[in-house]
């Protein structure tokens, strides 16, 4: 008996791009959606994956067998309530327990921003988010979950942010590992991604930092502190746009210890209303953090800082040097953008961007060197402040992706969640080093992989 199998992959988002991750895969006769994110760089319909690809064929619940969400970042889950409450998908949805707890908070936060600016966002209500989350099944790490009798799922630790997971998906003889976003190096509060030698037919991996072999974290941390110190020494203000749950804690620990060591008196503020909640989630999901956090948590609240105080909007007009952490991380809306508008025209000031900014956001424009930013229609801002990009976001670099391939030994690799040029470079490297196929489809482009996993009648 020789049954030829195939795996079919179509990215509806995150194909040769970062943002609105949504990858459709077909294994055997099952259709699975990997992530359902939104693009923070767009305000129009491009902010969502192109669902017309599925909806034009009929009832979406009949077509999609299950949806898997890798982690709570909005570029991975931001379109989920649109999928369930607007497009009417009511099939199974899986994510880890921390993701299920934290995703609705970020969705609600985004909803508030959206309805402020967009008439059409009316459908996007708090109750839609709640109803959507009720349809979600939470899973544990390494727990084997069976869906509709023949789909097998298993979550692996991905590092990156609290609750992030890589998913192993098996139907029949074929299997796919989807990494979501992952990090191969531990940090101050999370561990490193881990997967066993599961030898999937296909590995779908993020490739945000595909071409970077990152210098040691110690170097980046010293650069960061040096920059901050120089700016406040010349009387400037430092703005650090961050995501509410993620690198913020890392950088706060860094600054707090430095202020202590150097005896600095310049005020440092943290302006994210989500800190309290973040705290309780780290406590609730303590087993998802790293050993060190687990050991010290008993004595000390990990977000209790000696030198970092809560920020009030009015402080941005205060004279003199200060350091402010504010959300969101890509300067696309909200408080960090407001502070940026106010501080950008003064060359004494400094912007330090510690994470990736997707194209279309103000953060991305500033990092690409724009000196005039249209932050509102016909309202331009002169960017005279100095701008530094020091990547602290927890994505695997080229070396980490190669390491993951070595660990799980896939038969094929497919790259998503990265830029085209960088993907090309990594693809060449993977094909050369492992002598396997590596694909990098654009959005809407379909890849068919004939698999070698035929039913064998003659053992050799």
Residues that bind Zn ion (CB under 5 A): 73, 75, 181
Rg from Cα positions in the chain? 22
Instruction: Kindly state the smallest distance separating residue 455's Cβ from Zn ion, in Å.
Output: 37
Residue 87 DSSP class: S
Instruction: Kindly state the smallest distance separating residue 50's Cβ from Zn ion, in Å.
Output: 18
Q: Give the list of residues 6+ apart from residue 343 with CB closer than 8 angstroms, or none.
A: 237, 239, 316, 349, 351, 385
CA angle at 154 for the pair 149 and 159, rounded to the nearest 5°: 160
Helix (H, G, I), strand (E, B) or coil at 106: helix
Residue closer to Zn ion, measured from CB, 75 or 85: 75
Instruction: Kindly state the smallest distance separating residue 311's Cβ from Zn ion, in Å.
Output: 25
Residue closer to Zn ion, measured from CB, 91 or 246: 246
Tokens 């695997």 identify what position?
396
Q: Give the list of residues 6+ apart from residue 251 with CB closer than 8 angstroms, or none.
A: 224, 240, 242, 325, 354, 392
Instruction: Kindly state the smallest distance separating residue 206's Cβ from Zn ion, in Å.
Output: 7
> By CB neighbour count within 10 A (0-12 exposed, 13-18 middle, 19+ buried), where does 348 fall?
middle
Residue closer to Zn ion, measured from CB, 65 or 181: 181
Instruction: Kindly state the smallest distance separating residue 73's Cβ from Zn ion, in Å.
Output: 4
Instruction: Kindly state the smallest distance separating residue 21's Cβ from Zn ion, in Å.
Output: 6
Residue 120 DSSP class: G
Residue closer to Zn ion, measured from CB, 47 or 73: 73
- Active-site residue, from 152, 206, 376, 421: 206
206 flagged as catalytic = yes
Residue closer to Zn ion, measured from CB, 189 or 237: 189
The gap between the terminal CA atoms of the chain, to the nearest Å, is 15
Helix (H) or strand (E) holding 62: helix 60-63
Residue ranges of alpha helices (H) inside 246-394 are 247-262, 275-284, 291-297, 334-343, 362-367
Residue closer to Zn ion, measured from CB, 181 or 250: 181
Residue closer to Zn ion, measured from CB, 17 or 65: 17
Helix (H, G, I), strand (E, B) or coil at 95: strand
Instruction: Kindly state the smallest distance separating residue 95's Cβ from Zn ion, in Å.
Output: 13
**Residue 87 near residue 51 (C-beta atoms within 8 A):** yes
Residue closer to Zn ion, measured from CB, 12 or 308: 12
DSSP letters, 195-229, are ------SEEEEE-TBTT--PPPHHHHHHHHHHHHH
Smallest CA-to-CA distance from 130 within 100, 112, 104 is with 104
DSSP letters, 160-195, are SSTT-EEEEEEETTEEEEE--S--SS--SSB-----
Residue 237 has which token pair? 């203000």
Instruction: Kindly state the smallest distance separating residue 37's Cβ from Zn ion, in Å.
Output: 7
DSSP letters, 331-352, are SSSHHHHHHHHHHTT-TT-EEE
**Helical packing angle, 398-408 and 420-434, nearest 10°:** 40
- Residues marked active site are found at 206
């Amino acid at each position: 008996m020789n049954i030829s199998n195939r795996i079919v992959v179509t990215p509806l988002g995150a194909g040769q791009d970062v943002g609105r991750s949504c990858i459709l895969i077909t294994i055997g006769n099952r259709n699975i959606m990997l992530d359902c994110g939104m693009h923070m760089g767009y305000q129009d319909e491009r902010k969502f994956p192109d669902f017309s690809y599925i909806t034009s064929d009929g009832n979406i619940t009949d077509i999609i067998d299950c949806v898997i969400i890798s982690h709570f970042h909005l570029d991975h889950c931001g379109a989920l309530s649109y999928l369930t409450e607007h497009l009417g998908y009511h099939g199974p949805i899986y994510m880890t327990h921390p993701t299920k707890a934290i995703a609705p908070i970020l969705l609600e936060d985004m909803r508030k921003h959206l309805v402020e600016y967009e008439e059409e966002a009316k459908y996007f209500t708090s109750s839609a988010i709640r109803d959507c989350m009720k349809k979600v099944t939470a899973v544990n790490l390494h727990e084997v979950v069976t869906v509709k009798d023949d789909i097998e799922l298993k979550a692996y630790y991905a590092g990156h942010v609290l609750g992030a997971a890589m998913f192993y998906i098996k139907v029949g003889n074929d299997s796919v590992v989807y990494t979501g976003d992952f990090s191969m190096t531990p940090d101050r509060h999370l561990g490193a991604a881990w997967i066993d030698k599961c030898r999937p037919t296909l590995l779908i991996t993020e490739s945000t930092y595909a071409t970077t072999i990152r210098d040691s974290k110690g170097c980046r941390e010293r650069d960061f502190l040096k920059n901050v110190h120089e700016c406040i020494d010349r009387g400037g203000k430092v703005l650090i746009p961050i995501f509410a749950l993620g690198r913020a804690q890392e950088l706060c620990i860094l600054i707090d210890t430095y202020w202590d060591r150097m005896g600095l008196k310049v005020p440092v503020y943290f302006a994210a209303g989500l800190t309290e909640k973040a705290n309780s989630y780290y406590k609730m999901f303590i087993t998802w953090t790293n050993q060190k956090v687990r050991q010290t948590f008993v004595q000390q609240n990990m977000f209790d800082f000696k030198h970092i105080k809560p920020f009030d909007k009015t402080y941005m007009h205060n004279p003199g040097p200060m350091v402010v952490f504010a959300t969101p991380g890509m300067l696309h809306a909200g408080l960090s953008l407001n502070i940026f508008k106010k501080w950008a025209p003064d060359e004494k000031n400094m912007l330090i961007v510690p994470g990736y900014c997707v194209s279309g956001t103000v953060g991305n424009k500033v990092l690409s060197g724009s000196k005039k930013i249209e932050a509102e229609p016909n309202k331009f801002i002169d960017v005279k402040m100095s701008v530094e990009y020091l990547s602290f976001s927890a994505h695997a670099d080229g070396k980490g992706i190669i390491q993951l391939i070595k660990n799980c030994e896939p038969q094929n690799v497919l790259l998503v969640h990265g830029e085209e040029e960088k993907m090309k470079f990594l693809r060449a490297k993977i094909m050369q080093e492992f002598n396997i196929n590596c694909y990098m489809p654009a959005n809407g482009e379909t890849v068919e992989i004939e698999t070698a996993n035929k039913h064998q009648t003659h053992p050799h």
